[in-house]
Structure formats: C-alpha cells, structure tokens
C-alpha cells in the first residue's frame, strides 16, 4: 500500500481542524497534544508547500515584513499611550505625592521616556511583555495565555458557523438570482450585517433561555452555553460571507468555461459544486484573513453580554484602566494574529489557485 503523503497535507488538515473544533464544541476535551499535532501538521504542510512551490523567499520576505510591522505597531502604540491623558494610578481618591512617586518609581514610570521605550522593546525581543498595573502581580503573558484560548474557541465556533450558513445561503441566493428566495435571503443577510450584537443577544436570551428554556443565559461551561454567543458572533460574519459568495457565484456562472462545461453536458449539480463553487470561494478566502483574526481575538460586546472570560474584555478595559503593558500586549497579539492570518491566506491563494503568483 502506498500512502499518498502529499494528500495528507491538504484537505485532510481542514477536516481534522473541523473535527477538533466540533468536538470541543460538544465538550469533548481533546488533550493538548492533539492540538499541538494539528498545529505541527499544519505548519509542516505550509512548509512543504512553501518549499515545493519555491515560494520560500516570498515567505521569508513576508516574515521579515511582519516583524517590522509589529515593531512599528509596538512603537506607535507605546508613544500614543504616553500622549493619552490620565495615568494608570489616577483614581477618584487622589494619591499623596510621595505615594504616587513611590508607585511610579516601582514601575519605572519616572524614567525618561526613551529609557522606558528601550526597556520595553528590549523585553519584547526576549518575549517579556511585562507586568500588569491593574492586576498586580500578574504577568501580561499569563493574562493573555489564560484568556486567549477561550476567545479562540468562541471565534472558531463562530467562524465555522459563518461558513456553514454563509456559503450555502450565498449559493442558494445566486441560483435563484432575482427571484423571491434571493431577495428574502439577501434581506436576511443585510439585517444580519446591520443588527448589532447588543440587540440580537438580549432578544435571543429572552427567547431561548427564558421562554423556551433551552440554553443558558451566560457563562462558558459547555454546549448549552456555547450556542447563543456563537450564533450572535457568527451571524454578522455569515451575512457578509453570504453576500460575498452570492456576488462571486453570479460572476463565475457567467464565465466562458462554465458555458463550455454546460454545453458539454455536465450536470447542473456537478457544474455547481465542482466548477462554480470552487472558483467562487476565492473572495471568501480574502475576507477570511481579517475575519479569523477579528473573531478569535474576541468580541468585547459578546464576551461582556455572555460573561465569557476571553481576551476581548482586556482589549477594551485595559485602555480605560490605562494599564499600559496590557494594552500593548493585547494590541500586539491582535496585530500578530492579523499578520499571520494574512500570510496564511496568501499561501492558501497560491494553493487553491495556481494562476495566482506569489512574488
């Protein structure tokens, strides 16, 4: 029996990730080793792909660019924070000057700005994100490590849901172009984009938790807790995807090669799934980079409404607390994820569409 090693690097990874996310949804706790295997497996395929397609120089170039981007973001954020009025230890009860001085000395806030900057960037280079000013005695890496996984989990569920709903709805709408089903679906999609989550969430909670008594109104402890936040967070993304897919399918369906295929007698179903859909998903891929980064770094509103212990809260509250190290930490995590997702999307482009040249 010959194993097709190359075959293991493409679609199966996607399926494995889907399975893993689904099992996490159903409260089946996979050992962390499984997750590391998945990550490793994905990394190996990315590497294999990079080498086999000869895009190594592209990836290296982009990685260097990514580092520079992150450094620029870190620098800009650092100085912007210092311009922002108000400090981390200001409160309703004003501090005595000597106490304020002791605190500022302890956190080295009394050092010249350039020294603070150099010491922060120096720490960053060593992977040290510093200590929180608000959560005394807790490191920023620790806070992120504790809150990010929950946000990633919620984001992954929402992402999956948005694909599961968005893609079929988009295809269906395109197939029934300019008929009532199309209009109905698109009205639904526009509502999905425009309705804010702080409106949808309470309505769903009222209905599903208190009238129907199906789900839990808040917290993050199992499937009955996951469903509503996932729906609320996923709806908007699903709506955007549906509109993208619809537009894209309509464009592809008019392409010459589809007409040719149809003329050659290819059945409508094969035509749709094999030729149209595959080619229509490229815009979705483009959109997925920022979407993934946005979904997994947490939604403040959804996490707030459902009391989910994710990182979204820290992103917002760290600013109102002027917890400089935590603001820097969350900003950098978000930027790093965004840069990484965009790089992956670029690689995926080349993978799904050989016409796209990476350079």
Partner 1 sequence: MGRLLTAALVGILSSVIAIGCTKKGGKLDYGLNPSETLRINIQQEPPSLDWSKSVDTTSSLVESNIMNGLVEFNLSDPELSLDPALATSWSSTRDAKTWTFNLRQDVKWTDGVAFTGQHVIDGWERLLNPSTASQYAYFLFGVKNAQKYSQGKIKDFNEVGVRLDGEGRLIVELEQGKSYFPYLLDHHSTFPIRKDVIEKHGDRWTDPANIVTLGAYKLKIWEHDKALVMERNDQYYGSKAKIPYIYAYMINEMSTAINLFDAGKLDLQYELPSREIRNLRTRTEYRQKGNLGLYYYGFNIKKPPFDNLKVRKAFVKAIDRKQITDMLAGGYTPLSGWIPSGMFGYEPERGIQFDLEGARKLLDEAGFKDRSKFPRVKLAFNTLEDHQRIAENVQAQLKKNLGVTVEVVNEEWKVYLAHLHSDAPSMYRMGWIADYPDPDNFINLMASYSENNHTGWKSAAYDDLIAKGVSETNKEKRRAIYSEAQRLLTEVDVPVLPIYSYVTQALVHPRVKSFELNALKKYVFRGVELQ
Q: Work out whether 98 is an interface residue with partner 1 (CB under 8 A).
A: yes
Task: State which residue, 143 or 237, has the beta carbon closest to partner 1.
Answer: 143
- Sole window of 8-16, 28-36, 80-88, 343-351 interacting with partner 1 (rule: CB under 8 A): 80-88
Task: State which residue, 287 or 300, has the beta carbon closest to partner 1.
Answer: 300
Residues 129-148 that bind partner 1 (CB under 8 A): 134-138, 143, 146-147
Tell me if 317 sits within 8 A of 303, measured CB to CB: no
Q: Work out whether 160 is an interface residue with partner 1 (CB under 8 A).
A: no
Q: Work out whether 256 is an interface residue with partner 1 (CB under 8 A).
A: no
Q: Work out whether 320 is an interface residue with partner 1 (CB under 8 A).
A: yes
Torsion of CA 146, 151, 156, 161, to 10 degrees: 150
Tell me if 249 sits within 8 A of 277, measured CB to CB: yes
Q: Helix axis angle, 324-352 relative to 312-321, nearest 10°?
A: 140
Residue 151 is given by DSSP the state: H
Q: Whole-number minimum distance, CB 110 to partner 1, in Å?
A: 12
Torsion of CA 346, 347, 352, 358, to 10 degrees: 70
Cα gap 211→66, rounded to integer Å: 49
Residues 203-232 that bind partner 1 (CB under 8 A): 205, 209-210, 213-219, 221-224, 227
Q: Whole-number minimum distance, CB 276 to partner 1, in Å?
A: 16
Q: At 78, which helix (H) or strand (E)?
A: helix 56-83
Q: Work out whether 331 is an interface residue with partner 1 (CB under 8 A).
A: no
Q: Whole-number minimum distance, CB 231 to partner 1, in Å?
A: 11
Task: State which residue, 12 or 202, has the beta carbon closest to partner 1.
Answer: 202
Q: Work out whether 19 is an interface residue with partner 1 (CB under 8 A).
A: no
Question: Coil, strand, or helix at residue 162?
Answer: helix
Q: Work out whether 122 is an interface residue with partner 1 (CB under 8 A).
A: no
Cα gap 201→245, rounded to integer Å: 26
Task: State which residue, 48 or 135, has the beta carbon closest to partner 1.
Answer: 135
Q: Whole-number minimum distance, CB 242 to partner 1, in Å?
A: 18
Q: Work out whether 202 is an interface residue with partner 1 (CB under 8 A).
A: yes
Could you give phi then psi for residue 131, rounded to 5 degrees? -110, 145
Out of 56, 102, 121, 255, which residue is the one contacting partner 1 (CB under 8 A)?
102
Task: State which residue, 194 or 267, has the beta carbon closest to partner 1.
Answer: 267
- How much helix, strand and coil, in percent to the nearest 5, is found in the chain? 75, 0, 25
Out of 7, 54, 86, 354, which residue is the one contacting partner 1 (CB under 8 A)?
86
Question: Coil, strand, or helix at residue 216?
Answer: coil
Cα gap 106→104, rounded to integer Å: 5
Q: Six-digit token pair at 170?
A: 């988009």
- Sole window of 52-60, 101-109, 113-121, 237-245 interacting with partner 1 (rule: CB under 8 A): 101-109
Out of 11, 28, 33, 94, which residue is the one contacting partner 1 (CB under 8 A)?
94
Triad 144, 150, 154: Cα angle to 5°: 135
Would residue 117 be called left, alpha or beta, if left means φ above 0 and alpha means ψ between -120 and 50 degrees?
Answer: alpha
Q: Six-digit token pair at 57?
A: 């120089």
Q: Work out whether 26 is an interface residue with partner 1 (CB under 8 A).
A: yes
Q: Work out whether 277 is an interface residue with partner 1 (CB under 8 A).
A: no
Q: Work out whether 5 is an interface residue with partner 1 (CB under 8 A).
A: no
CA quadruple 259, 261, 266, 272: dihedral positive or negative? negative
Cα gap 148→330, rounded to integer Å: 10
Cα gap 337→329, rounded to integer Å: 12
Q: How many residues bind partner 1 (CB under 8 A)?
A: 55
Out of 14, 22, 76, 203, which residue is the one contacting partner 1 (CB under 8 A)?
22
Question: Where along the sequence are the contacts to partner 1 (CB under 8 A)?
Answer: 22, 26, 84-87, 89-99, 102-103, 105-107, 134-138, 143, 146-147, 202, 205, 209-210, 213-219, 221-224, 227, 269, 304-307, 309, 313, 320, 322
């Amino acid at each position: 029996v010959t194993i097709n090693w190359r075959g293991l690097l493409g679609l199966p990874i996607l399926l494995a990730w889907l399975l893993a996310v689904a099992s996490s949804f159903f409260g089946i706790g996979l050992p962390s080793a499984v997750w590391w295997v998945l990550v490793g497996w994905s990394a190996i395929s990315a590497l294999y792909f990079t080498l086999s397609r000869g895009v190594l120089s592209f990836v290296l170039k982009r990685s260097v660019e990514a580092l520079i981007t992150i450094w620029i973001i870190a620098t800009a954020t650092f100085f912007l924070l210092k311009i922002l009025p108000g400090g981390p230890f200001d409160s309703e009860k004003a501090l005595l000057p000597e106490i304020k001085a002791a605190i500022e000395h302890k956190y080295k806030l009394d050092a010249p700005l350039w020294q603070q900057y150099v010491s922060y960037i120096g720490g960053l280079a060593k992977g040290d994100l510093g200590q929180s000013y608000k959560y005394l005695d807790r490191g920023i890496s620790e806070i992120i490590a504790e809150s990010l996984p929950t946000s990633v989990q919620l984001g992954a569920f929402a992402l999956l849901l948005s694909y599961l709903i968005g893609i079929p709805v988009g295809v269906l709408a395109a197939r029934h172009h300019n008929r009532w089903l199309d209009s109905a679906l698109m009205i639904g999609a526009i509502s999905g984009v425009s309705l804010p989550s702080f409106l949808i969430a309470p309505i769903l909670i009222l209905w599903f938790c208190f009238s129907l008594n199906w789900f839990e109104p808040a917290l993050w402890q199992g499937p009955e807790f996951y469903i509503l936040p996932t729906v609320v967070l996923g709806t908007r993304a699903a709506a955007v995807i549906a509109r993208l897919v619809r537009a894209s399918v309509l464009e592809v369906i008019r392409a010459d090669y589809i007409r040719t295929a149809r003329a050659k007698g290819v059945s409508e179903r094969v035509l749709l799934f094999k030729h149209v859909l595959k080619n229509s998903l490229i815009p979705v891929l483009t959109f997925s980079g920022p979407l993934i980064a946005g979904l997994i770094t947490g939604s403040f509103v959804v996490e707030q409404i459902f009391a989910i212990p994710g990182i979204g809260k820290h992103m917002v509250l760290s600013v109102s607390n002027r917890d400089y190290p935590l603001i820097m930490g969350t900003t950098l995590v978000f930027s790093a994820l965004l840069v990484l997702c965009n790089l992956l999307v670029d690689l995926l482009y080349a993978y799904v569409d050989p016409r796209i040249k990476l350079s």
